[in-house]
């Protein structure tokens, strides 16, 4: 499948909700109820980062929850792509991009949200066929003003800013015409996950799910 068509699939995934929860799962037992709580709250697209030994099993558990679209984050190597897909990931997210990583994702047919922090990185990905990108690390890279400055010269590209996005600044990102959604971890804080306070997580998700986006 052409890369542009895969990138269009990623755009469709990002259009599902204004916020994609960025999840670091330490205990597989939390995976299913966490996914259920977030989906119930209106956030169906979930990114499980490959930062813990439990991540792949968590993806496998979450992939079975009805109504959800589970992806794998922090993809770095071609091996990460194959392991994530074997676990049931339906899309991949990377902090940056290398030819080896993108080659592997393209060969496997995995829709990707590749990371870019500069105009040059974004242009290189656009030339390859990617027009839905992750802007990372968002706050450290200039935040909403930096993304706003990219809109005029690169109107073809939509972004999902991640990294330092929180309830206080999410609105400034989502108001930009080149932002499709944003990634954030605040909807599933570690303390609530550890105590199994799924109702509170659902409430946080519900609040995030109605954040307004640019038309």
> Per-residue DSSP letters for 166-193?
-TTTHHHHHTSTTB--EEESTTS-HHHH
Omega before 16 within 30 of 0, i.e. cis = no
pLDDT tens sequence for the chain (215 residues): 789 899 999 999 999 999 999 999 999 999 999 999 999 999 999 999 999 999 999 999 999 999 999 999 999 999 999 999 999 999 999 999 999 999 999 999 999 999 999 999 999 999 999 999 999 999 999 999 999 999 999 999 999 999 999 999 999 999 999 999 999 999 999 999 999 999 999 999 999 999 999 96
Using CA atoms, how far residue 125 sits from 3, 7, 25, 29, 121, in Å, is 10, 11, 29, 37, 6
Domains parsed from the chain with CATH numbers: 3-209 (3.20.20.70)
115: three-class secondary structure by DSSP: strand
Which residues are catalytically annotated?
A: 47, 134
End-to-end CA distance of the chain: 29
């Amino acid at each position: 499948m052409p890369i542009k068509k895969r990138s269009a699939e990623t755009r469709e995934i990002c259009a599902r909700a204004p916020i994609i929860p960025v999840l670091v799962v330490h205990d597989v037992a939390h995976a299913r109820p966490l996914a259920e709580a977030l989906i119930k709250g209106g956030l169906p697209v979930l990114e499980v980062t490959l930062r813990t030994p439990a991540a792949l099993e968590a993806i496998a558990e979450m992939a079975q929850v009805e109504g959800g679209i589970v992806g794998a984050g922090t993809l770095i190597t071609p091996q990460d792509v194959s392991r994530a897909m074997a676990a049931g990931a339906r899309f991949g997210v990377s902090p940056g991009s290398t030819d080896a990583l993108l080659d592997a994702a393209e060969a496997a047919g995995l829709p990707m949200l590749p990371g870019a922090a500069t105009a040059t990185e974004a242009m290189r990905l656009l030339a390859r066929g990617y027009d839905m990108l992750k802007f990372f690390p968002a706050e450290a890279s200039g935040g909403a003003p930096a993304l706003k400055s990219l809109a005029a010269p690169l109107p073809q590209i939509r972004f999902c800013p991640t990294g330092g996005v929180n309830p206080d600044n999410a609105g400034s990102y989502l108001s930009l015409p080149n932002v499709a959604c944003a990634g954030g971890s605040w909807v599933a804080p570690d303390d609530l996950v550890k105590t199994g306070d799924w109702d509170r997580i659902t409430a946080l998700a519900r609040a995030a799910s109605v954040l307004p986006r640019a038309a």
